[in-house]
Structure 1
Amino acid sequence: MAVKINFNAEAAKTHTALIQNERAMGKSLLRLSTGYKILNAADDSAGLFIADMLGTVAAALDQGNANIQTGISALQIAESSAGQIYTKLQEIYVRAQRAANDINDPNARAALQQEINNFIDAIQKIGTDTEYNGIKLLDGTFTEKYIHYGPRADQVVSVSISNLKASNIGAYVVQGTGKVKSDTTAYTSLITGNWQYNSSTDTVTVAGVNLNSSIYLSYTGAVDAKAIADAINNNATLQQVGISARATNISIASTEWSNIQSTTGSVTMRFYVGKSTNSADAIEITVAQGETLTLDQLISQINTQASAKGLNITASSSGNKLVLQTTGETIGVEVIRSDTNAASVDLGMLLQGATASASGSSTTASAVKVGNLTIAGTDSYNYNFTGISATNEGLGVANIGNGSFYNLYSIDVTTNSGAELAMDIVNTAIKKVDKVRAQIGAVMNNLQSIFDSQKVAYDNTKEAESVIRNTDYAKEMAEFVTYQIRMQATVAMLAQANTLPQLVLQLMR
């Protein structure tokens, strides 16, 4: 071999290996001390890019969940306050129900009205003052608010909470006061025209926002508020948007009772209930020649036949007047005298508001009283009753119209009718508040589901980033020990390489 003293190739190569081992050991030492596998872009440029993207997504997921928690906190405040409003509405409803009892004197009703006013004032304050960090929640301004939950743009949940102030909750109401018609004619003739459905395809339309629901009433007969109310209440679409109806019909005879005595001929009275015009379905009471019919006897016969025929009508007396009551069904009366000499009958004794009488040359007279119809909805709606008749004379409302809004401040329980209307208003307001609470709860559940899902996504994303970015200590420690051994071996071999030029001295001896 050639022996030189000016350049020690073995020592130079060993030194190069020493430098490389030193660099590798130093990097391994940094990885162990920092916990990061990638110390700079030169270590793993592709891995650094992927890890940084995963880290950004993980941070965004974490912030998104923080946004969700903030949103849920605000919604919890809103739902809790809405629950307080519900409780106060319930108290108002009970007091309105109490005020509807005519046993209350004016002072008692005035006291109940004052209590209700206090509750209304509390509801107004809750609706106005409920907030989260200065953001009003129940005053109608919290609409189309976005909770950004995701790591990407437009990953949001839209939240809107309706106005729950006392001035903005209540009911959109249509009130029809049933009309009375009487004439010296048969009952079937009396109810023709505006008092009769035109055909079996007649409809009642009640339309809400983006809603058009036609209610089909497939029969002919007297206009009947109860039938319309039932059709509305049985319509699933209208139920979903908070529209309901009720019907009532109470007749207190206009004229005090006078016993019917038929000295010549006979008198037959028929009481019709609901839509039917069939005399076979009616309650029929005959006063034969020589008989006398008292008010108590009339009441007894009406109630007995109503029970037997399954007719929803009850008879009673108020003072010396006949009282007839249904749950909204139309009440019809027909009097037929056997001849002009039979006893005369003033229909005012039988039905409130009736002015005709079967007397003199009139052997037949009839009267009809339609029930009162009340429709209430949580939101604005319109109605169209032209399918029933052109003018709706019987229902006592225009054939086309809109629900009129009655807020809580409209409540007046100082009269029976006002208290009954108050119950409709409050009941509808309760439905709206419950609907808002349900919507808030649904959003909270949705956000909680997203939170849970994103927490799993965050954990997995951080794990994926960790695989790329962070040091595997078991593996790195093994490599560090290897580098240490190689460094020691390289230093030892460098010492041996440095002794090689000494061989020249042996040649020179």
Structure 2
Amino acid sequence: MALTVNTNVSSLSAQRSLTKSSQTMGTTLQRLASGLRINSAKDDAAGMAISNRMTTQIRGLNQAARNANDGISMAQTAEGALGETTSALQRLRELAIQSANGTNSTSDRAALNAEADQLIAEIDLIASTTEFNGLKLLDGTFGSQTIQVGANASQTISVSIAGATASLLGANATTTSTGTTVADAKTAGSLTSPNGVLKINGTTITTATDGVSTTDATASGKAVAAGINALSGTTKVTATVNATTATMGTVAASTVASGELVINGVNIIATSVSGDSDGALRAAINAVSNQTGVSASLDGSSNLILTATDGRNIRLGTDGTNAVATLSGFALNGAAANDDVVVGTVTLNGDAAFVVDTGIAKATHGMTITANTYSVSTTNAVTNVDLTTASNATTAITNLDRALDNVNSLRGNLGAVQVRFESTINRLTTTSENLSAARSRIVDADFASETAELTRNQILQQAGTAILAQANQQPQLALQLLR
């Protein structure tokens, strides 16, 4: 190597190495001081971008978990208040049962009704004062609210809380179909099945044979009610089957010959009938009720009433051979044989208003359910509970049962949403934990590695300083040549 004075290449090389080791040590010291491998974009631009996205996700997940916890707190607040409402309703029902007892005097029932009024007022007070963070939960204004339970938009859980005031609990929307009577009975086998015709709240009802009717078995009250109830989870409408009744008219004195009266395919045996009072015809009908599913009784006007309590169809047949008229409402002895069917009715109930989009008609289906929107009526609500008479108390028991069902349903829904929130929180915390671990592997400094790197750079820096000092002495050798 040439000996020069103007350019000290050895010194420049030593300076470069010393600068590099100093810079590297500065980076190492920064990492050790902050605990982070990435302190600026120049350390790892791609890693910083990835870690920032992860940070966004982690912070969103953590906040979502807090939101879900708030949802649990809100649901617990509402559910706790409904527990008190349940207690009040249970006491109201006890009072109603007590008032329905015939041993109570008018003053007794007045005292029971006074306590009932106070309990009803307490139910309203609970509903009006139950709040969470300023939101009223049970007065009917809450409706449906969404809880943000994710780090991104539209990741929500909807919470619906119906009102639990005395005017809402027990209230219902209802309608009862019109069935056929003896006077407008249809020819057996002529009815069109309502299967796939009736539509409630946008859902088409499917009916199947009721398993007991001897004719038109898919059109009976029993069959229609079963079809509606099978889809009640979707429509939110239930059906109660009513007893099928056939008013046969008054019984005249005569002899009912064999084959002259056939009920649901069973021949009523020959019997001598002297009139209403002896009950011979009723006895003959009731003797085979286990086969027909139909019983006979007299109403207050001495009309013979046939009843199928399970809602099956009542099929009435005659042979038309004899000439003596036995029943004023149904010709047992006509010029021709008859084979008719009487169809019962169903009562539709919904806690909220419901729509019968497509109805069915008696002329073709045996009963009429009119297409209409059926609104909620407060007639049966808790606010109208009256225990001043035994009759009113009996009605109140039914209405309070429905109110308790309303509250039980509300509490069940709130319990279910709490379970869902808890599951969501577990998912969120697990995801946040895993993302945090992944981010740590990208941005956090490895202290073992960095301290080793620090030691290496310190040695290089000390060595570079010593070498630089020696390199700077090289031009001094030129002076020796000048002496």
Q: Which residue does 2:201 correspond to in 1?
A: 209
Shift of 1:479: 0.7
Q: Which residue does 1:39 correspond to in 2?
A: 39
Give the secondary structure class of the aligned counterpart of 2:361.
coil
1:405 aligns with 2:376: yes
Q: Which residue does 2:351 correspond to in 1?
A: 378
Q: In the superposition, relative to structure 1, how do residues 333 and 18 fare at CA in structure 2: closer, same or farther (>3 Å)?
A: closer
Separation of aligned partners in 2, 1:163 and 1:496: 90
1:70 alignment partner AA: D
Q: Which residue does 1:231 correspond to in 2?
A: 224
Separation of aligned partners in 2, 1:207 and 1:123: 36
Deviations 1:286-328 (A, max 9, x none): 4589x99867x99987766545x4746487999xx99998736
- Kept in 1: contact 2:51–2:439 (CA 8 A): yes
Residue in structure 2 matching 1:489, options 443, 463, 479: 463
Give the secondary structure class of the aligned counterpart of 1:159.
strand
Q: Which residue does 2:120 correspond to in 1?
A: 120
> TM-score, with normalisation over the residues of structure 1?
0.69
Q: In the superposition, relative to structure 1, how do residues 130 and 242 fare at CA in structure 2: closer, same or farther (>3 Å)?
A: farther
Q: Which residue does 2:450 correspond to in 1?
A: 476
> TM-score, with normalisation over the residues of structure 2?
0.72
2:232 alignment partner AA: L
1:278 aligns with 2:278: no
Q: In the superposition, relative to structure 1, how do residues 292 and 377 fare at CA in structure 2: closer, same or farther (>3 Å)?
A: closer
Separation of aligned partners in 1, 2:343 and 2:112: 32
Separation of aligned partners in 1, 2:62 and 2:385: 50
2:353 alignment partner AA: S
Give the secondary structure class of the aligned counterpart of 1:193.
coil
Structure 2 counterparts to residues 168-207 of structure 1, below 5 A: 168-169=168-169, 170-174=171-175, 191-193=182-184, 199-201=190-192, 203=194
Shift of 1:8: 4.0
Residue in structure 1 matching 2:440, options 466, 470, 474: 466
* Stretch of structure 1 that moved more, 439-448 or 466-475: 439-448
Q: In the superposition, relative to structure 1, how do residues 482 and 323 fare at CA in structure 2: closer, same or farther (>3 Å)?
A: same
- Kept in 2: contact 1:3–1:504 (CA 8 A): yes
RMSD of Structure 2 on Structure 1 (CA)? 5.2
Separation of aligned partners in 1, 2:134 and 2:409: 25
Q: In the superposition, relative to structure 1, how do residues 500 and 42 fare at CA in structure 2: closer, same or farther (>3 Å)?
A: same
Give the secondary structure class of the aligned counterpart of 1:25.
helix
- Kept in 2: contact 1:203–1:217 (CA 8 A): no
Q: In the superposition, relative to structure 1, how do residues 112 and 136 fare at CA in structure 2: closer, same or farther (>3 Å)?
A: same
Q: In the superposition, relative to structure 1, how do residues 277 and 117 fare at CA in structure 2: closer, same or farther (>3 Å)?
A: farther
Separation of aligned partners in 1, 2:282 and 2:272: 14
Deviations 1:79-111 (A, max 9, x none): 333444345445445554555565655555545
- Kept in 2: contact 1:283–1:306 (CA 8 A): no
Separation of aligned partners in 2, 1:370 and 1:166: 37
* Stretch of structure 1 that moved more, 323-332 or 236-245: 323-332
Q: In the superposition, relative to structure 1, how do residues 327 and 419 fare at CA in structure 2: closer, same or farther (>3 Å)?
A: farther
Shift of 1:139: 2.6
Deviations 1:23-74 (A, max 9, x none): 2212211211110112222222332222222222211221122222212221
Give the secondary structure class of the aligned counterpart of 1:121.
helix
* Stretch of structure 1 that moved more, 375-384 or 69-78: 375-384
Structure 2 counterparts to residues 248-397 of structure 1, below 5 A: 267=255, 278=263, 281=266, 286-287=271-272, 306=289, 309=291, 311=293, 313=295, 327=309, 374-381=347-354, 387-389=361-363
Shift of 1:133: 0.7
- Kept in 1: contact 2:263–2:314 (CA 8 A): no
Give the secondary structure class of the aligned counterpart of 1:167.
coil
Give the secondary structure class of the aligned counterpart of 1:38.
coil
Shift of 1:486: 0.8
Q: How many residue pairs get matched?
A: 461
Q: In the superposition, relative to structure 1, how do residues 40 and 443 fare at CA in structure 2: closer, same or farther (>3 Å)?
A: same
Separation of aligned partners in 2, 1:293 and 1:37: 105
Residue in structure 2 matching 1:247, options 221, 232, 242: 242
- Kept in 2: contact 1:200–1:217 (CA 8 A): no
Structure 2 counterparts to residues 58-69 of structure 1, below 5 A: 58-69=58-69
Deviations 1:314-369 (A, max 9, x none): 87999xx99998736699999x9x999xxx99x9xxxxxxx9899xxxxxxxxx99
Give the secondary structure class of the aligned counterpart of 1:53.
helix
- Kept in 1: contact 2:214–2:265 (CA 8 A): no
Q: Which residue does 1:351 correspond to in 2?
A: none
Shift of 1:277: 5.1
1:45 alignment partner AA: A
Give the secondary structure class of the aligned counterpart of 1:231.
helix
Give the secondary structure class of the aligned counterpart of 1:160.
strand
Q: In the superposition, relative to structure 1, how do residues 54 and 381 fare at CA in structure 2: closer, same or farther (>3 Å)?
A: closer
2:142 alignment partner AA: F
- Kept in 2: contact 1:198–1:387 (CA 8 A): no
Residue in structure 2 matching 1:455, options 423, 429, 441: 429
Q: Which residue does 2:338 correspond to in 1?
A: none
- Kept in 2: contact 1:100–1:415 (CA 8 A): yes
